[in-house]
Amino acid sequence: MRAPSAALMPLAEALAQLRGLAAPVAPRTVPLAQARNRIAAAAVSCTRPIPPDRTALRDGFAVQAAGIAGASPYAPVLLLRAPVQVEAGDPMPAGTDAVLPAEGLEGRNAVAEVGAGEGVRAACEDLAEGDVLLAAGERIGPRHLLALAAAGCREVAVRAVQIRLVATGVFGPEALSPMLAALIERSGGLVETVAVPDDPGAIGRAVAADGADATFILGGSGFGRTDRSAEGLAGAGRVLAHGLALRPGETAGIGEAGGRPVLLLPGHPDAALAAFLALGRPLIAALAGADEPTPRTGVLRRKIASVVGLAEIVFIRCHGSEIEPLGGAELPLRRLIEADGAVLVPPEREGYPAGSEVEMVPL
């Protein structure tokens, strides 16, 4: 176990070591109802045109638009034969190219005109054969579920990362584990929360148990008399680093047990959240084979000051395109819960002046 005076591992090195332990998990097929927020294991393309033929977009009468041009209540156009009544989704009869609303027909007289194609969906207009509905590594959201269901897909291959959240320490089981579990699930992971006492044996047994692709130990990562998480990890596997050049989050650590990555998360809310954003979320992405999200940017309302040599997480609140820094280490809870993102200041910078455009990580 690391001594409090030992050198801190740079964040980039810690992240590289974690990713080196994180081969993408095996795909599995799940019903669409269980696919939301999961990571697609393979691309999915449309296998047939939708619709296959011209279809009605609304209820009414199938007509040829040119045959009723100029029709109005004052100049009705007599149809040679009664038009076919259609409902939304019905195929259009041959020789018709528009849907006349029901109120546009009185007996056999058209009393309104419609343009060609009005009320009609052309063949292949929704989806064409070969259209990519979902890319490999993409997070499955509501819009993907709509496209997949419309194309007739009832299940999809995903990489579902199983994370065991071992909650210990003062804050862990009661206050922090619900937040971390929600963040894990939003990142595409499945979470199993296990509450254990501040006992290295109990922590080690929870870490060594089968069934998880990675383990997050929440709490007990410091150097106090009751902080036993690093000792528990050492008993179940290896501590690769205990103490990172990350603020807040200096007492975070990384390791492995049974070839699976383990992340030590501090027990204080700001530090736990910072370590998760800097290490936990990228680890889940690596295990899921997920694409790195495109960073959002915003303009700072006030400057951010940082210490050279430490990567620093600064929590922020967004106001449209502007970013309000809230603070980082030792941020009061009433301010932390206002955050909807964070800025990661790299260790070589002293911060950013007001008016700078910076990248932000959303919560």
Q: What's the one-letter identity of residue 184? A: I
Residues of the chain with CATH 3.90.105: 33-50+126-157
* Whole-number Å distance between alpha carbons of 43 and 48: 16
Residues of the chain with CATH 2.40.340.10: 296-362
To the question of domain 11-25+160-288 being in CATH 3.40.980.10, the answer is yes
Work out the mean pLDDT of the chain and round it to a whole number: 93
What average pLDDT score do residues 88-101 get? 96
**Second CATH level (architecture) for the domain 33-50+126-157:** Alpha-Beta Complex (3.90)
Residues of the chain with CATH 2.170.190.11: 55-121
User: Rounded to the nearest 5°, which phi and psi values hold at 99?
Assistant: -115, 120
Q: Which of 256, 275, 277, 150 is closest to 213 using CA atoms?
A: 256
CATH of domain 296-362: 2.40.340.10
Which pLDDT value is given to residue 126?
Answer: 95
- pLDDT greater at residue 240 or residue 3: 240
Cβ neighbors of 140 (< 8 A, separation 6 or more) are 35, 36, 37, 38, 39, 40, 134, 156, 158
Contact assessment for residue 166 and residue 346, using Cβ atoms and an 8 Å cutoff? no
Which pLDDT value is given to residue 171?
Answer: 53
User: Rounded to the nearest 5°, which phi and psi values hold at 147?
Assistant: -65, -45
By three-state DSSP, how is residue 30 classified?
strand
State the DSSP H helix or E strand holding residue 257, giving kind and residue range, or none if neither.
strand 253-257
Residue 5 reports pLDDT greater than 80: no
To the question of domain 55-121 being in CATH 2.30.33.40, the answer is no
Peptide bond into 248 cis (omega under 30): yes
- pLDDT bucket at 34, cuts 50 / 70 / 90: very high
Comparing 69-78, 162-171, 215-224, 348-357, the range with the smallest average pLDDT is: 162-171
Q: How many helices (H) and strands (E) does the chain have?
A: 8, 27
Query: What burial letters (b/e) apply to 117-127, b meaning 16+ CB within 10 Å?
Result: ebbbbeebebb
